[in-house]
Structure 1
Amino acid sequence: IIQKFIIVSLLPPSPLSVQYGIVLDAGSSRTTVYLYQWPAEKENNTGVVSQTTKCLVKGPGISEMNDDSWKYLKTCMDDITKHVPPSQHSSTPIFLGATAGMRLLHIKNEEASNTILQDIQKYLRSLPFNFQNASIISGQEEGLYGWITVNYLMGNFLEKNMWNAWVHPHGAKTVGSLDLGGASTQIAFTAPDDATGEDLIRVSLYGYEYNVYTHSFLCYGKNEAEKKVLAELVKRSTDWSRVNHPCYPADYSITMAASEIFDSECTKKSTPASYSPAKNITFFGGSDPVRCKDLVKRIFDFKSCQGKENCSFEGVYQPPVSGEFMAYAGFYYTAWALDVKGSNTLKQFNTAMLSFCSKPWATLKKNYEITEKHLKSYCYSANYVHTILADGYKFNDDNWENLNFQKEVNQTSIAWSLGYMLAQSNMIPAEAKLLKLPIPNSAFAGLLFVFSALTIITLMFLIITLVRFCF
């Protein structure tokens, strides 16, 4: 468990005008390659990082790598390589961080996960870049890196003032981070200074300390949680050839092998006695919003929080949420499907969810250009998002509008990968070598104007007095 997270600045100044960094976000359902760039300023190592490009690797995540996956990964890396000047290949750091998919595989088969990482490391070392690291990151680290990304992009750590000097924004407040992946979900936000516990980390950035609460719920990512929902339905069904699913749209059906549901560390405890991996299970949609909500709530353990103050679910301690939050990744895509991205009220979210979940399959296909794989599951996703935010994290009518469902900030994707690179590259100093002003830029500018005006008036008075005295 991480108790103290100090980031120090070690990067030497570079004569180059731009530097680059590459991060492979090896998620449970896919791998995304990000290329970042930043000005190589001589004055300090706090150049603002922006996203140059990104490449989505086709196929599954690295926990299910096959020959095609390797081919698609190499195609992406070839594309990324073209965006970096050849003269800077050897100085461009490259990192890979594997998240919940590999965390689950490591639990299930440690030898297999180690072999995959070794193969990945061997491949990345063969590239012309400066290989740094390829490892499985913890859920707590993933949450913290996401929080760093959000606040870095929002300019909450530092900004340039009117004299082009880096300063800590006067009165800046941090923004909470809500990340929803395929196999896990993370929450991170600044907690009161007196809050303590294993999920709180003291973070030093630019000379300021933050008490950050961050927790990751493994198996509560969107895809793994959906498997838990399917397992719940199968467990209560006597006829596997016709299992009614209230979250799937009416007039829609899908048949899948039992292994697609139960061959997971997240559902193995729910495996029925009659389980056979190859046995088919057919689900029929019902477009029933009320029953869907009840079904999704059943996969959350809220009972362990009964009688406890400041508890989300599964008995996990959580300080009360406060301030603004950025909800991204799976949270954003669900809000986008409901047409409630950005900020909205809880009532608006509920209305959109009810409307979407009431539509039959034919209407959904007509109204949305979304693949069947995702379209069939957005009602479930909407109920999942509502349940974890409202019942789990305790967002309500009063503070739901503090949630901002976004995909990017200033054309840079919101993802833990940026915070990871900043931390791994030591680009965020713990101690600040910055110009610190005791007052905001606007107030300082106002005082400067008043002082200048008084100086001019005084000089004019002296000149007039001198002229009168002489003549």
Structure 2
Amino acid sequence: MGSKKKMGYKCRIAGVMLLLIGSIAALVVVAVIQDKLKVKEYGLEFGIVIDSGSSRSNVYLYEWPGEKENETGVVTERKNCKVNGLPISELEVSSKDDKKTFEGFQYCMDEIKNHIPEEKHKTTPLFLGATAGMRLLEMKDQERASKIMGKLRDFLSKQNFQFHNASIITGQEEGLYGWITVNYLKENFLQKNMWNTYIRPNGAETVGSMDLGGASTQIAFQVQERGEGPDYMHVKLYGYPYTVYTHSFLCYGKNEADKRVLDKVIRESSDPAYIINPCYPRGFNITTKASSIYDTECIPKPKNYNSGQEFYMVGGSDSEKCGQIVKSIFNFQNCPSKQCSFNGVEQPPVTGDFMAYAGFYFIARALEQGGKSDLGQFNIAVGNFCNTDWAKLKVQKHWISDTYLKTYCFASHYVLTLLADGYKFDNETWKNIHFEQKIKETNIGWSLGYMLSMSNMIPSEVKEITPMTNPVFAGLIFLFSALIIVTAVLGFIILIRTCY
């Protein structure tokens, strides 16, 4: 009988101990689950970049999930708004035009605001980057350029966003950001796998980029060697380093190159009242004011310059002569290094695929050479275009406005010379050039690349989601704590009864 009683006490003690250990274990498990299995919910982040070029300004809204892939946000274009009014490099001349332009900016800022949740307005970063138009103005009139940038900073700082900066970006930065945009959209940095997560493509090669604006043109491509000098830029994206050769040629954008060619045509003519321009189509004529050609830092003004002087020009439709004049605005002779593009600028050999966008695309489209072509076809297309008279061109290219159509003979020779003689694309490497405006319905330009680089520095807003709500967690903790206390008390009572 005594042994049975003793056995009963042992069973009770064992049961209490099991309950005690189980309660402690359950308490630990609940605490660990609540802490370790937390899910981080990242809200969408937004960023605004204003691209203020030599022709106009565009406001881009980008968004990306706060959970970054190896330090850089996965960015997509949400909205693009074109600012009505003057390019910013033409501000501070007429108060009436300035007012209209700032009204255009305000309209776009209001449009952008409608696409961002209200609670995100004050945390959405806002940047403005001014390109070659302002770089030229800064060379010509630094005080006026400073006033314009100051007015823009004042205007943007009053918007309901987190204004960071309005600055004039360098040509190298413009080229680099364009290269980042192209390769991002081509998924050369990241791509989604079958589980819908982003990974770095195995063995992916990057694509070179070529941008043609109004006042400058840029080339950028990855190189394996770590070159020295300002044209070799080092960037880290998605956790991987890249060395990119990039150079910007100021005064060699389409509009400024056009002025250079017009200057050459005028200087070769003996009669300013009747100038035959071989780059204009036969049957076309125009009266041009001297100020529209020489009011730039890219061309030295002639002796006895008169801004109001008028030049009467008629088209000559002479493709060969036009090509000669276009080549004369480049210097292919002086090269202080192993290989140069032009004007003595060192450049490594071009390799791999290239994306040619902005002005390159529109000129290639006018020649019906968009997408991929070969050098021979492009050359023939240039000759055919330049030897066609004005009346036929207007019928054949009815979708192109007269303002641009009259310039496309010069422009096509310019692209041919720049790419073949300047960047040294030959019959084989020309086939690697893709003339495109968009990739995946997104406009190609420097602003997306800029936003990708800036997103490295913008913190993500994180909301932690625990597997249990706070009341449930607190209830379980209370329950298992109470069980531990109760079992400890029972164990103590049983132990006292056993001993006494």
TM-score by length of 1: 0.84
Aligned pair 1:397/2:423, yes or no? no
Query: Corresponding residue for 1:294?
Result: 324
Over the residues paired in the alignment, what is the CA RMSD in angstroms?
Answer: 2.0
Aligned pair 1:37/2:63, yes or no? yes
CA contact (8 A) 1:21 1:421 kept: yes
Cα distance in structure 1, aligned partners of 2:411 and 2:191: 37
Q: How many residues align?
A: 414
CA contact (8 A) 1:237 1:243 kept: yes
CA contact (8 A) 2:73 2:455 kept: no
Query: Corresponding residue for 1:356?
Result: 385
SS at match of 1:350: helix
Cα offsets for 1:378-415 (capped at 9, x unmatched): 11111111110000000010111100111111111110
| CA deviation after TM superposition for structure 1 residue 48, in Å | 2.6
Cα distance in structure 2, aligned partners of 1:258 and 1:97: 30
Q: Residues 261-340 of structure 1: matches in 2 within 5 Å?
A: 261-267=293-299, 269=300, 271-305=301-335, 309-340=338-369
Aligned pair 1:25/2:61, yes or no? no
Cα offsets for 1:242-282 (capped at 9, x unmatched): 11111111111111210111110001x2x221310001112
Q: Residues 44-443 of structure 1: matches in 2 within 5 Å?
A: 46-65=72-91, 66-193=98-225, 195-267=227-299, 269=300, 271-305=301-335, 309-367=338-396, 368-426=398-456
Cα offsets for 1:308-355 (capped at 9, x unmatched): 531110000000000000101111111111111111111121122122
Cα distance in structure 2, aligned partners of 1:346 and 1:261: 31
CA contact (8 A) 1:28 1:183 kept: yes
CA contact (8 A) 2:226 2:232 kept: no
CA contact (8 A) 2:72 2:238 kept: no
Quick check: which has more Rg, 1 or 2? Answer: 2
| CA deviation after TM superposition for structure 1 residue 87, in Å | 2.4
SS at match of 1:67: helix
Cα distance in structure 2, aligned partners of 1:187 and 1:343: 18
CA contact (8 A) 1:15 1:42 kept: no
| CA deviation after TM superposition for structure 1 residue 167, in Å | 2.2
CA contact (8 A) 1:46 1:428 kept: no
Consecutive unaligned residues of structure 2, counting only runs of 5 or more, are: 1-38, 92-97, 460-500
| CA deviation after TM superposition for structure 1 residue 14, in Å | 8.6
Amino acid at match of 1:254: I
SS at match of 1:213: strand
Cα distance in structure 2, aligned partners of 1:385 and 1:428: 38
CA gap of 1:43–1:136, structure 2 versus 1, over 3 A, is: closer
| CA deviation after TM superposition for structure 1 residue 197, in Å | 3.5
Cα distance in structure 2, aligned partners of 1:288 and 1:68: 41
Cα offsets for 1:72-128 (capped at 9, x unmatched): 222222222222222221122111000010001111111101110010011111111
Cα distance in structure 2, aligned partners of 1:173 and 1:351: 32
Amino acid at match of 1:62: I
| CA deviation after TM superposition for structure 1 residue 147, in Å | 0.9
Amino acid at match of 1:414: I
Q: Taking every aligned residue pair, what percent have the same amino acid on both sides?
A: 52
Cα distance in structure 2, aligned partners of 1:205 and 1:44: 8
CA contact (8 A) 1:28 1:60 kept: no
Amino acid at match of 1:74: Q
Q: Residues 8-19 of structure 1: matches in 2 within 5 Å?
A: 15=41, 17-19=43-45
CA gap of 1:206–1:313, structure 2 versus 1, over 3 A, is: same
CA contact (8 A) 1:327 1:405 kept: yes
SS at match of 1:333: helix
Amino acid at match of 2:191: E
| CA deviation after TM superposition for structure 1 residue 426, in Å | 1.6
Cα offsets for 1:214-261 (capped at 9, x unmatched): 100000001011111111111222211111111111111111210111
Cα distance in structure 2, aligned partners of 1:275 and 1:184: 25
CA contact (8 A) 1:158 1:166 kept: yes
SS at match of 1:282: strand
CA gap of 1:323–1:101, structure 2 versus 1, over 3 A, is: same
Cα distance in structure 2, aligned partners of 1:394 and 1:421: 31
